[in-house]
Every structure is written in structure tokens, then in C-alpha cells.
Amino acid sequence: MANEEQRIEHLHKLAPNDADRVIKALEIARKKGDRRYESAALLGLGSISAKLNDHFGAIAFYEKGLIIAQEIGDREIEVLHLGGLGEHYLQLGIASKTIVYFEKKLVISRDIGDRSCESSDLGNLGTAYNVLGESHKAIEYLEKALIIDREIGDRRGEGIDLGNLGKAHTNLGELHKSIEFYERALAILRDIGDRDQEGEFLNHLGNAYANLGDTCKAIEEYEMALVIDREIGERQGEGEVIGNLGDAYADLGETNKAIEFIEQALIISREFGDQRGEARLLGNLGSIYADLGETNKAIDFNEQSMIIAQEMGDRLSEGADLNNIGAIYRKLGDARKAIEFYEKALPIIQEIGNKRLEGTILGNLGMAYADLGEDRKAIEFSEKYLVFVRDIGDRQSEGMIINNLGFVYNHLGEIRKAIEFYEKSLMIVREIGDRRGEGAALGNLGIAFATQGETRKAIEFSEKQLVIMREIGDQGGEGQALGNLGNCLYKLGQKEKGIELVKHALAIFQVIESPSTKWAQNKLEEWGAKD
């Protein structure tokens, strides 16, 4: 842990032009015993640390300055330190601490009657609750901020509030509602010519379409955001958008293009010393290599990501990386090892109070136990996850978990019960417009009816799945639908057509380097057909 002297030396080396003047001011203030000036100088050093993405350095300076401001009763400087602390804990993913500081700042803003600061504090509290997965509470704060910004005529604030409400509804799985908020935000930001915020919310609009499974539309929005970020020289925003384009191409099964984009984004993150962004992108590369079956590479990227998170003290990213490594081992078929990593991740995420990720890990534990054939344990964890997502109103995750429970009951041989769960999942994903989720539920219904021997019904569901997967450009899903259809038609005696469809599926699996390639090859071999 660096002390103040080491932190000051660090700033002197990295940013002498900015830091030396403020360091001198701090020395003068301490010699004179001018505590207000000392607190202000510490605020300046915190700001310089922030520019260097040194969150811990910024926090250390702000905390010292805050103590002084509170001791001398200087509320003007106190609110600046509180705001800086809140923002940097949010950057570190420690949203619970962010809330503590912004609640204190909100009290002062209201006491002094500063409506603009009050709105900003409410917006920051909304953002923090959204990070914690408490999106309903986030919406309460953001709606209060929106009322104030409209009252005081702050059009930019109004646009940002609407965009942040879009993020909260995205977290709730209310994707059509989130798109509506983003579009309202964008109309205002375009009207006032705020290109920076326009680019940011186009990026988030792309995320909403990606969550809906409309990856091609997501790419359109990302590309518009990218044009703006490059036009205004917003290099960090450019990196974030390029990273999202990489994720989108990964969803489409275009892994080489995905890797190319993520590697470009990684260069930009490193250029700015953005360790948090670097860690996230390394984790994303790990996920792509896991899908490609390159396990050692996948684990290596996630471990690199975790080392950065640990160095930064970013507990959220550390827990997420442990969860991701668990997911890689599960894909490898090593469910025991996966459980080991999920169980390491869980207490970290519970400690920082991130309900959303805690629920995800519980769900992953459920699926890992299902892989081991410990179906009752799988149901227990999945049902805990279901309680979580219903509590926070996340309909998209609710649909996914119910679908997973259907999978477990299918494994137990309780096909009727599995079908009930798949049908409930299908109802939810259609209600919220989640096309990828709809395709998955239809595919699982097809498999369940095929297991029951209801082959014609299975074909009906697989054909519907195929239409959706082609519509949203999901090549992996398209391949699965073709494979299931081919299998059903072969069983009905339409052997040539069945073989043709499985060959088509195999061609897709080979192009996207899917683990399902082996299934298609084995099926064709079983039927005596050459691939």
C-alpha cells in the first residue's frame, strides 16, 4: 500500500506539468497551516490521479481532503471530495461505497438548495443501484433526477437521465422500454448538439438490441456510435464501442472478426492505462477462445484479467473472472472444477453486494450440478437464482432460468414437466421481445417433443427456431436447428433430406468452429453418410 509521499512521487514522474504546481501548493498550505488550502490541494492531486486512471491514488487524496474539510466545516470543498470518492468507488465496481458518499453529498446539496447538484447526486445514486442489480431502486432515483432537470430546464441533464433510465430497464430485461428511453434521450441530445453523449447512448442502444438477440441492428447502432467517437476524438469511447462490436461478431459466430475488434479495443485501453477496460476485454477474449475449444488460451486470458483486477482491488471484476473460468471448465466437461471456481466467486460477489452477478453464479452452480447428474441440487440452485431475478424484476433472466430448469427436468426424464418449463420460458421471452431467447426455447421444445416420440411436433418447433436464428444472424443457433430438423426427418424415413440438413449444419459448425461439429460428424457416421 503506497503512502502519500510515494503517491506524490508517482504523480511527479507521470504528470509533472500538472502535478508539480499542486504539490507546491500543498507544501505551502501545510507550512502556513492553511487547512482549507490544504484540502483544496489534496482535491487537485485526487483529480490528477483520476486523469491517470489511478483510482486508489485518487481515493487516498480525496479521503484525506474530506477529513480536513469536515473538521473545518467547509461544505463547499466537502461536496467535491464526496463526489470524487463516490465516482471512483463506482469505477472500481464497489457501488455500495458509492451510495454512502453520494447520499452524504445529496444531504448537503439539498441543505444549500443546489437543485442542479441534487439532480446530479440522484442520478449517480441511480447509477450505483443499477450496478448493484437493484434496478427498481435505480429507477426511483433517476425519475426524481428527471423531474428536477425538467423543472430547472437542464436539457442535457434530462437527456442523460432518460438514457440512464434506458440502462436500468435493460438490466430488468425490459428491452423495448429501454430502447424507447434511449431514443427519447438521443432526440434531446441531437437537438442540443451533444455529440459526446449521443455517441455514448447509441452504444447503449446497441447493447439493448444485442440483448434482444437482434445482433445486426446492434452492429448498426455501434457503427453510428463509432463514427461519432472518431469524429470528436473520443478515443476511450471508441475503444468501448470497438469492444462491443467484437462481442456482437462473436454472437454471430464470426470469431476471427470478433478477435480482431477486441484486440483493437485492447490497444486503446492500454493506451489510456484503463486497467478495468483491459481486464474486461481480456475476459471477453477468454470467452471467445473457450467457444473455439482453445482452452489453455481461454484460461490464460481470464487469468490475465483476474491479475489486473486483483492489482486494482476490483473485487467485482475478480469475481466475474472466477465465474468465467468456471464457465470454461464447464464447457470442457469438468463440472467439478467449474463448481470450485463458482464457489470462489460467490463469496466475493456477496461481499460487495452485487445481487445480479450473485444470482448468475447461483444459476451457473445449478447448471454445473445438472452436468454432474446431481439434478436435485441443480434445481435447488436454479430456484434460488429464480427468486433473485424475480425480486429484481429481471424478466429476461427469469425466462432463461425457467428454460434451464426445463433442461434439468428433461435430464431427469420428466419430459412433461420440462415442456411446461420451456413453454413458460417461451411466453416470457416473447412478451419482452427476446428473439434469441425465443429461438432457444423453441429449440428445446423441439428436442423435448422429439424425445417423447412426437416427431412432427418437434419439426414444427425446430422450423420456427430456424426462422428466428436466420433472422437474427445467429449461425450457431441456425446450425442447431438444422441438425435437429435433419435428425427428426431421418427418423420419419426422409433419410436423404435428413442427411442433407445435418450436412448443412456441419458446414456451419465447421465455419464457426463450433463444438457441435463432432455431434454432426458422429450423426452422419452413424447413418453411413460421408460428411
Q: What tens digit of pLDDT does each residue of 17-58 get? A: 888 999 999 999 999 999 999 999 999 999 999 888 888 899
**Coil, helix or strand at residue 314:** coil
Give me the mean pLDDT over the 216-231 stretch.
96
* pLDDT band for position 265 (cuts 50, 70, 90): very high
Q: Say how far residue 377 (Cα) sits from the centre of its chain.
A: 27
d(CA 161, CA 143): 8
CATH code, residues 1-91: 1.25.40.10
pLDDT at 1: 54
Tell me the average pLDDT of the chain: 91
Q: Is the pLDDT of residue 392 over 80?
A: no
Residue 213 has pLDDT above 80, yes or no: no
- Amino acid identity of residue 186, one-letter, is L
Lowest mean per-residue pLDDT among 5-14, 40-49, 74-83, 104-113: 5-14
274-390 architecture in CATH?
Alpha Horseshoe (1.25)
> Mean pLDDT: which of 99-113, 204-218, 319-333, 391-405 is highest?
99-113
CATH 1.25.40.10 domain range(s) in the chain = 1-91, 274-390
Q: Mean pLDDT across the stretch 240-248? A: 95
Q: Which pLDDT value is given to residue 287?
A: 85
The answer to whether 41 touches 26, Cβ cutoff 8 Å, is yes
The H or E element containing residue 239 is helix 235-251
pLDDT digits (tens, 9 = 90+) for 121-144: 999 999 999 988 888 999 999 999
Q: Tell me what percent of the residues of the chain surpass a pLDDT of 90.
A: 65
What pLDDT score does 531 carry? 60
Per-residue pLDDT averaged across 240-252, rounded?
93
- Whose cell is 434496478? That residue is 135
Q: What mean pLDDT do residues 228-248 have?
A: 95
Specify the higher pLDDT residue, 530 or 297. 297
The number of beta carbons lying within 10 Å of the beta carbon of residue 277 is 21
Question: Residue 382 corresponds to which cell in the numbers above?
Answer: 436454479
Interval 478-496 mean pLDDT: 93
Mean pLDDT of 355-371: 89
Asked if the model's pLDDT at residue 93 lies above 80, the reply is no
C-alpha cell at 342: 463458482
Is pLDDT of 314 > 90? no
CA distance from start to end of the chain: 60
CA–chain centroid gap for 303, Å, is: 19
**CA-CA distance, 185 to 135, in Å (whole number)?**
19
Name 265's Cβ contacts closer than 8 Å, sequence gap at least 6.
Answer: 239, 240, 242, 243, 246, 277, 281
Q: Give the span between the Cα atoms of 443 and 462, in whole angstroms.
A: 5
Place of cell 489511478: 54
Q: What is the DSSP string of 42-99?
A: HHHHHHHHHHTT-HHHHHHHHHHHHHHHHHHT-HHHHHHHHHHHHHHHHHTT-HHHHH
| 337 pLDDT more than 80 | yes
User: How confident is the model at residue 107, as a pLDDT?
Assistant: 96
CB of 238 within 8 A of CB of 268?
Answer: yes
The three three-digit cell numbers of residue 392, written as one number: 429484481
Stretch (H or E) spanning 261: helix 255-271
C-alpha span between 127 and 120 (Å, rounded): 11
Task: Give me the pLDDT at residue 272, please.
Answer: 85
- For the stretch 194-203, pLDDT in tens is 999 999 999 9
State the pTM of this model: 0.73
Which three three-digit cell numbers place residue 297? 488460451
What is the pLDDT, as a whole number, of residue 268? 95
Query: CA 189 to CA 159: how far, in whole Å?
Result: 6
Phi (first) and psi of residue 414, to 5 degrees? -90, 75
Question: Residue 426: pLDDT above 80?
Answer: yes
Report whether pLDDT(305) > 80: yes
Q: Judge contact between 506 and 519, C-beta under 8 A.
A: no
When pLDDT is cut at 50, 70 and 90, the band that residue 449 belongs to is very high
Task: For 224-252, give one letter per residue: b (16+ CB within 10 A) or e.
Answer: bbbebbeeeebeebbbbbbbbbbbbbbbb
